[in-house]
Amino acid sequence: MSKIELRVIQGGNEKSEELLQFPQFVRGPAPENSSEMVNWRVSRGDLLKAAANLRRQKVLDFWAIVAGKNPPIRAFGMEQSGSLVSLADASACYQGLKRPCGDDDNGDERVIFILNPLEFFEYQFRPPIVHVNKRSVPEGLVFAAYARLDHPPEGGVRGVVTHWEFLEACPHEGTLPIDHGDRYCRLLWRRD
């Protein structure tokens, strides 16, 4: 009986260069005025550290929710989304983490943008296929993107987006995070 040779047809790129070609800036609202759009740098060093340690979900979340673009990757299951949000669509902005952060004793130099994405991209480990799924954000979640302010701001750049995460939503005001009244120092603005 002759042997049947099985070959895997790959679903996409095993190594992606495009996914690490982060934009130099993302557009987002100014902390003092929700209708003024400014540039924010991206914490490239931390993103590369995540990528080097195979935290692919963190990189996909950056593309789909902070930058508001379909992740630049060819993968099995990957469908383009036409309803992504970005930092520019933040529904609220707070200042102050109420905790030490780096050299900042009270996290006062940090601003927090709250976003309400409908869709995101999920990394799935299914070797040997590169699998990325577009999916809906479950109910009861919001997304927070944190930025450190530059002092003084230079050349229209206000600071650097440092990290991001999904949070549980407030049960009474679903576009804001749970305990929003306590977790940050102050609300800078809110879009209704």
Partner 1 sequence: MTAIDMISEYKPVALYYDDADSVEYVRVDGPSVSRRIDAFLTLILDMDDRSKVIGFRLKGFRNFYSKHFRLINEALNDEFLALVSVIEKRVTEIANNHFDRAEAAQRLEAYKCARDIAAKDSVILRGRIAA
Distance CA 102, CA 82 (A): 37
Which region, judged by CB under 8 A, interacts with partner 1, from 26-34, 62-70, 86-94, 102-110? 102-110
How many C-alpha atoms does 19 have within 13 Å on its Cβ side? 27
Q: Residue 77 burial by CB count (10 A; 0-12/13-18/19+): exposed, middle or buried? A: middle
Residue type, 100: P
168 binds partner 1 (CB under 8 A): yes
**Residue 48: closest CA among 74, 26, 19:** 19
191 binds partner 1 (CB under 8 A): no
Which region, judged by CB under 8 A, interacts with partner 1, from 26-34, 62-70, 80-88, 157-165? 157-165
* Residue with smaller CB distance to partner 1, 38 or 65: 65
17 binds partner 1 (CB under 8 A): yes
Among 86, 123, 145, 176, binds partner 1 (CB under 8 A): 123
* Residue with smaller CB distance to partner 1, 93 or 112: 112
Assign 133 to helix, strand or coil: strand
